[in-house]
Chain A
Amino acid sequence: MELVEAIILAVLAASTPLLIAATGELVTERSGVLNLGVEGMMIVGAACGFGGAWLTGSIFIGALFGIVAGTLMSLIFALMALGLAVNQVATGLALTILGVGLSGLIGAGFVGERITPAVHLHIPGLTDIPLVGRVLFGEDGFVYFSVALVIGVWWFLYRTRAGLILRACGDNHVSAHALGYPVLRIRTFAVMFGGACAGLAGAYLPLAYTPFFIPGMTAGRGWIALALVVFSSWRPGRLVVGAYLFGAVTILQLHAQGWGVGIPSQFMSALPYLATVIVLVLLSRARTGGSTAPAALGTVFVPDR
C-alpha cells in the first residue's frame, strides 16, 4: 500500500510541470498561434524562479519570478511573430535557443546553491488517511494550482464569451477581425498566458521537484508539453489524461526496472511516449474522428485598416 501511495505521489510530481506548460500552450494555440518556444520559456522560468526564491527565501515569490520571466519571454515572441509577422515556427525555435542561453547566463550565479523546497500541505487527520490522504491532501501548492488551472481554462474556453472569441480567432482570424474583434490583441494575451504558464512550469522544477538549479534541467519537458497539446486534439480534458498518463508510465517503467522486469530499458524509456501517443490518438478517434486543430493555427495575420 505504501508503495502504491509513493508511486502516485511521484506520478503527480512528474506530471505537474507538463500539465501546467501544456495548458498554457493550449490556450496560445487555440488563439491560432503556434509558439514552439515552450522549452525556452520554461528554462528561463526555472532560472528566474530559483533565483527569486533564493534571493527572497520565498517559494511564492520564486513562482512569481518564474511567471514574470515566462511572460517576458513570450512578449519577445509576440513582438516578432504577431507584431512583425515573422514566421511563427522559426521564431518559436529561436526563442528556445535564446532561452537556453539566457537561463545559463541568469543561473550562473546560483548554480550549486540550495533552497528549502515548496512545502507540502498537511491537514491533521485528513493527510494521515492511508493511501488517499497524502495523495489528496498532502501535495505542494503547484499540484493543486495545476488542477485549478486546467479546470479554469476549460471553463474559460467553453463557457465564456471571451473564450468563444479566443477560439474564433484561432479558427478564422479573418472573420473574427471582420466582426470587429482585435485579433492581434487577443492573440498577444493568449501568447502571454502561455508564457506565464511555461514560466511557472519551469519554476516548478527547481522550487519543488529537485530543489536546486542546474542549466538544462528542463531536459526537454517543454517539447513533451507541446506534443501533448497536439495529441490531445487541443482539448483540456484529454490534455489532463495525456499529462498524467505520461507521468504515470514514466514512473512505472522506473519501478518495473527496479523489480527486474525483463524488458529492455531502452524500450521502457520510450514507453511513456508510445503509450501517451497511442492512448490520445485512440481517444480522439473514438469521439470525434480526426483532429480538431484550430484552423488558423500558425498562420500569420496582418489586419487591413
Chain B
Amino acid sequence: MRKSLLALAAGLLLAASVGAASAADKLKVGFIYLGPIGDLGWTYQHEQGRLALVKELGDKIETTYLENVPEGPDAERSIEQLVRAGNKLIFTTSFGYMDPTLKVAKKYPNVHFEHATGYKRNPNMSTYSAKWYQGRYIQGLIAAKMSKSGVLGYIGSFPIPEVVSGINATILAAQTINPNIKVKIIWANTWFDPGKEADAAKALIDQGADVIMQHTDSPAAMQIASERGKLAFGQDSEMIKFGPKTQLTSILDTWGPYYIERVKAELAGTWKSEDSWGGLDSHMFAMAPNTNMPDDVKKMAEDAQAAITSGKLHPFKCPIVGQDGKPVECKGGDHLDDGQILGMNFYVKGIDDKLPGK
C-alpha cells in the first residue's frame, strides 16, 4: 500500500514536471483589460479576440489576462506582474495604459508590448487601433435621417482625440443630411459605470434628444433609450438584445484577426514595433446589421459603408470648418491626415458646446 502510494506520488511529480516543461515551451501571451470581461462592450470584445487567438494557436501559446485593471500606477504594477510571470508578448488594451506600458517596455527590452489606441511607441512596443470614426460617420448619417427632433444625444467618456474625432465625424455626417442638426454632449468621465451612463442617457432624452450615441462601454444607455421609445447605437459590441426595437447599428470591435497575426509574427520571430491603424477596408472593425430603419436609410448606410471601405468617401474631407469658424488646415491632400485625426482636439462648426479643457 505504502509503496503504491509512493509510486503514485512519484508519478504525479513526474507528470507535473513534464507539464511544466511543455508549458515552458509555449509562448506566453498576456492581456491587460480595463473592465470586466463580461462588460458586453470594450473588454468583452478584447476577450473575444483572445478566445479567437486561443482557438487558432492554442497548442503553441498560453494566454493570461488580468481584468478590471485601473488606468494609472496600478496598471504599471499589473503589466510588470505579467512580465515577471514570463509573458513574452503583452497586449494592454486601453488608452490610459499608454504611459505605464511605455515605462515597463523600457525596463524590459526583451519583452514585446502592444498598446491599443495610444500613440507612443518604442522598439519593443507597438500600437494598434481602428478607424472607428469611419463607423461613426455612418452612424451620423443614420442618426440625422432618423431623428425627428433634430437633436442627437452623445455620451462621451473622456475628451481624448479618439472620442472627439468620433463626435466630429458624427456631426459632419449628420450635417450633410440636416444642416441645422444639433448635438448635445455629456461627458461621463468614465469608461464604465452603467448607472452613470443610464443617468446621462436619461438627461439627454429629457432634454429633447431622440437618438442616443455613446462612447462608454455598457449597454445601459441602449436600455434607457429602449425604455423611453427612442433610438440608439450600440458600442463595441452587438447590443441589440438590450434594445431590439432601438438599436440602429453598432460598431463591432473585431480584434481576433489582429491578435492572431501578431502572435504568429512573434512565434516566427518576425515581430517588429509597428503602428497598426486599420479601418473598414482592413477589417479592424465591422458594423452590426442596420436595423429599425426604413429601407432607404438602410441603403444609404450600406452605400456609405461601401464608399468608405473603397476609399471613395473620407469622413474628414476638406474643407472642414472648426468651431471658431476658421477652416482647419488640410494636411492630407483632400482630407485631414492621420496625424490630425489621431490628435484631434477641436470641435467642428455646428457643435455649440465647449470642448473640455479648451
Instruction: Give the B-binding residues of A (Cβ under 8 A).
Output: 2-3, 6-7, 10, 14, 100, 104, 107-108, 111-112, 114, 205, 209-212, 214-217, 219-221, 250-251, 254-255, 257-260, 262, 264-266, 268-269
Contact indicator B38/A214 (Cβ below 8 Å): yes
- Number of residue pairs across A and B with beta carbons under 8 Å? 117
**Cα distance, A100 to B39, chains bound together (Å):** 14
B177 to chain A, nearest CB (A): 22
A residues near B219, Cβ cutoff 8 Å: 212
Say if the beta carbon of B203 comes within 8 Å of chain A. Answer: yes
- Say yes or no: B223 contacts A212, CB within 8 Å: yes
Complex partner residue of B195 from A3, A112, A221, A258, CB under 8 angstroms: A221
Contact check: which of A7, A114, A258 meets B184 at CB < 8 Å?
Answer: A258
Are the CB atoms of B204 and A10 closer together than 8 Å?
no
Q: Once the chains bind, are B187 and A260 in contact (CB under 8 Å)?
A: no
With A210-B223, A255-B203, A258-B203 in contact, do A216 and B35 touch (Cβ < 8 Å)?
A: yes
A7 contacts across to B, CB distance below 8 A: 206
Given A212-B219, A214-B38, A219-B192, A266:B203 Cβ within 8 A: no
- The answer to whether B38 and A107 touch across the interface, beta carbons within 8 angstroms, is yes
Known contacts A107-B38, A217-B195, A258-B207; is-contact A100 B202 (Cβ 8 Å): no
**Could you tell me the distance between the alpha carbons of A114 and B220 in the complex, rounded to whole angstroms?**
12
Residues of B with C-beta under 8 A to A257: 185-187, 203, 353
A219 B207 Cβ-Cβ under 8 A: no
Contact check, A212 vs B242: say whether CB atoms are below 8 A apart. Answer: yes
16 A-B residue pairings within 8 Å (CB atoms): A3-B206, A10-B202, A104-B36, A205-B194, A205-B195, A209-B194, A210-B218, A212-B223, A219-B190, A220-B193, A251-B199, A257-B187, A265-B186, A265-B187, A265-B189, A269-B187
CA distance A111 to B192 in the complex (A): 15
Contact B357 A254 (CB under 8 A): no
- Contact status A216-B39, CB under 8 Å: yes
Q: Give bound CA distance, A217 to B196, whole Å.
A: 10
- A215: chain B residues at CB < 8 Å are 36-39, 68
Residue of A114, A217, A260 touching B354 (CB-CB under 8 A): A260
Tell me the bound Cα distance from A111 to B40 in angstroms: 8
A270's closest neighbor in chain B, by CB? B189
- A264 & B357 in contact (Cβ 8 Å cutoff): yes
Query: What are the residues of chain B within 8 A of A3 when measuring CB–CB?
Result: 206-207
Residues of B within 8 A of A (CB): 35-40, 67-68, 153, 156, 159, 184-190, 192-200, 202-204, 206-207, 218-220, 223-224, 241-242, 352-354, 356-357
Contact B352 A251 (CB under 8 A): no
Additional 20 contacts, C-beta under 8 A, given A6-B206, A265-B159: A7-B206, A10-B199, A10-B202, A14-B199, A107-B38, A209-B198, A210-B220, A210-B223, A214-B38, A214-B39, A214-B40, A214-B218, A216-B39, A217-B194, A219-B193, A219-B194, A257-B353, A262-B354, A265-B187, A269-B189
Closest Cβ of chain A to B213, distance in Å, is: 13
Q: How far apart are the CA atoms of A293 and B244 in the complex, in Å?
A: 51
B153 — which chain A residues lie within 8 A by C-beta?
Answer: 258
Instruction: Tell me, rounded to whole Å, the shortest Cβ–Cβ distance linking B163 to chain A.
Output: 11
**List of A residues within 8 angstroms of B190 by Cβ:** 219, 269
User: When the two chains form their complex, are residues A266 and B189 in contact, meaning their CB atoms are under 8 A apart?
Assistant: yes
Complex Cα spacing A107 to B352, Å:
42
**Contact indicator A219/B68 (Cβ below 8 Å):** no
A264-B356, A265-B356 given; A254·B186 CB < 8 A: yes
Nearest-CB distance from A115 to chain B (Å)?
Answer: 11
* Complex contacts, B185 vs chain A, CB 8 Å: 257-258
- Residue of A6, A114, A219 near B202 (CB, 8 A) is A6
Contact A260 B352, CB 8 Å, known A214-B38, A215-B38, A269-B189:
yes
Q: How far is the CA of A89 from the CA of B162 in the complex (A)?
A: 40
Given A6-B202, A14-B199, A266 contacting B38 (CB threshold 8 A): no
**A259→B218 CA distance, assembly (Å):** 24
Given A205-B195, A264-B357, answer yes or no on A211-B207 (Cβ-Cβ < 8 Å). no
Cβ B192 vs Cβ A216 within 8 A: yes
Cβ contacts under 8 Å, A212 to chain B: 194, 219-220, 223, 242
B194 touches A10 (CB 8 A): no
Closest beta carbon of chain A to B217's beta carbon, Å: 9
Query: B223: which A residues are within 8 A, CB to CB?
Result: 210-212
Distance (Å) between the CB of A176 and the closest chain B CB? 39
A100 with B203: CB separation less than 8 A: no
Q: Known contacts A258-B186, A258-B207: does B356 contact A112 (CB below 8 Å)?
A: no
Residue of chain A at shortest CB distance from B153: A258
Nearest-Cβ distance from residue A105 to partner chain B, whole angstroms: 11
User: Given known contacts A216-B192, A217-B194, A254-B186, is B241 in contact with A114 (CB within 8 Å)?
Assistant: yes
State A265–B354 Cα separation when bound (angstroms): 10
A250-B202 contact given A104-B38, A214-B194, A269-B187, CB 8 Å threshold: no
Q: Which residues of B contact A104 (CB under 8 A)?
A: 36, 38, 67
Provide the residues of chain B in CB contact with A107, threshold 8 Å: 38
The complex places the Cα of A7 from the Cα of B202 at a distance, in Å, of 9
Contact of A210 among B38, B159, B194, B241 (CB under 8 A): B194
Residues of A within 8 A of B203 (CB): 10, 251, 254-255, 257-258
A219 near B196 with CB under 8 A, answer: yes
Output the least CB separation between A104 and chain B (Å). Answer: 6
CB distance from B331 to the nearest CB of A (A): 28
A111 to B218, CA, bound (A): 12
Identity of the chain A residue whose Cβ is nearest the Cβ of B189 in the assembled complex: A269
Chain B proximity of A132: nearest CB distance (Å): 18
- A220 neighbours in B (Cβ, 8 Å): 193
- The complex places the Cα of A51 from the Cα of B186 at a distance, in Å, of 32
Most chain A CB within a 10 A radius of its CB, from B156, B218, B224? B218
Most buried by A among B40, B67, B189, B190: B189
Chain A residue numbers with a CB within 8 Å of B187 are 257, 265-266, 268-269
Please measure, in the bound complex, the distance between the C-alpha atom of A268 and the C-alpha atom of B196, giving whole angstroms. Answer: 13
8 nearest A-B pairs in the assembled complex, by CB-CB distance: A215-B36, A265-B187, A219-B193, A269-B189, A111-B38, A254-B203, A6-B206, A265-B356
